[in-house]
Amino acid sequence: MAADASSQDMRMHRIDTGRITLNVREAGEGQPMLFFHGITANSATLWPVASQFTDRFNVIAVDQRGHGRSDKPATGYEADDFAEDIASLIRKLDRGPAILVGHSLGSRNSVTAAARYLDLVRSVVAIDFTPYIETEVFDALSSRVNAGDQVFEDIEAVEAYLAGRYPNIPAPAIRIRAESGYQSVEGGLRPLASPEAMAQTAEGLRADLTQVYRDVRKPVLLVRGEVSKLVSADALAKTSRLRPDLPVVVVPGADHYVNEVSPDITVKAITNFIDA
């Protein structure tokens, strides 16, 4: 996947929204297009996709609260907390309504923001998170999230762990996660994501999303990985019955980590949706 020349101008900085200070990766000019990662990840994991839009938009990939190099408050990890962060960022930017692209946790947060703050959001691409996710799926997610809080000897150990945890994510994307998501501590490398925040965030993902999806009136594209273990085919089907007006793209061969496993198809799906 070739990066646009403009993606080389990316700068990483922190934005004080007046509510929370968020670390971001930013490039391009024009209407804001904001990208929000999944749980335990950070803005770097979405940058290979986000960078493809820097010739058209002011692209900003965000470390969400508790993650990466953004603020990590002791509490406040429910959907409404994240959605209010998104709203405060859009208001701070003061460049008009934003296109939101979210993966997993970021998908949940983006749809919630679109439902709550009608004047701030133009549209949403919601990647691999819907209502009706089964309880046992959330149980398995919580176990994986909590197991990640450990100290690794070196970057090679981090990459080996991540490759085992995410067997379908290509090696270059694993490297991005390893290089962007860990910090030096005594004894090695530890995740930048706060373990307390991750535990609260994982628990918050269990909240019922059906009313949010009923309420949202902005255009929303639903994207699912064909072999996703988070969003089952049944969960997607129930969501489509709830909102039959929302377009759906199922990415062949992709698991939950659609944007890392199939970045080119993800870019094409986003482009077709926003152009329509």
| Sequence-ordered alpha helix ranges (H) in the chain | 47-50, 79-93, 105-116, 135-147, 155-165, 171-180, 195-204, 210-215, 233-242, 258-261, 263-275
Q: Is residue 5 predicted with pLDDT exceeding 70?
A: no
Rounded CA separation 56/91 (Å): 20
Residues 216-260: tens digit of each pLDDT: 999 999 999 999 999 999 999 999 999 999 999 999 999 999 999
pTM greater than 0.85 (yes/no): yes
| Mean residue pLDDT across the chain | 96
Do the beta carbons of residue 23 and residue 69 sit within 8 Å? Answer: yes
Residues 241-251: tens digit of each pLDDT: 999 999 999 99
243, amino acid identity: R
Active site residues: 104, 128, 256
Q: Which two tokens stand for residue 32?
A: 């804001």
Cβ contacts of 222 within 8 Å, gap of 6 or more:
126, 130, 236, 239, 240, 246, 247, 248, 249
Domain annotation for the chain: domains and CATH numbers? 5-132+208-275 (3.40.50.1820)
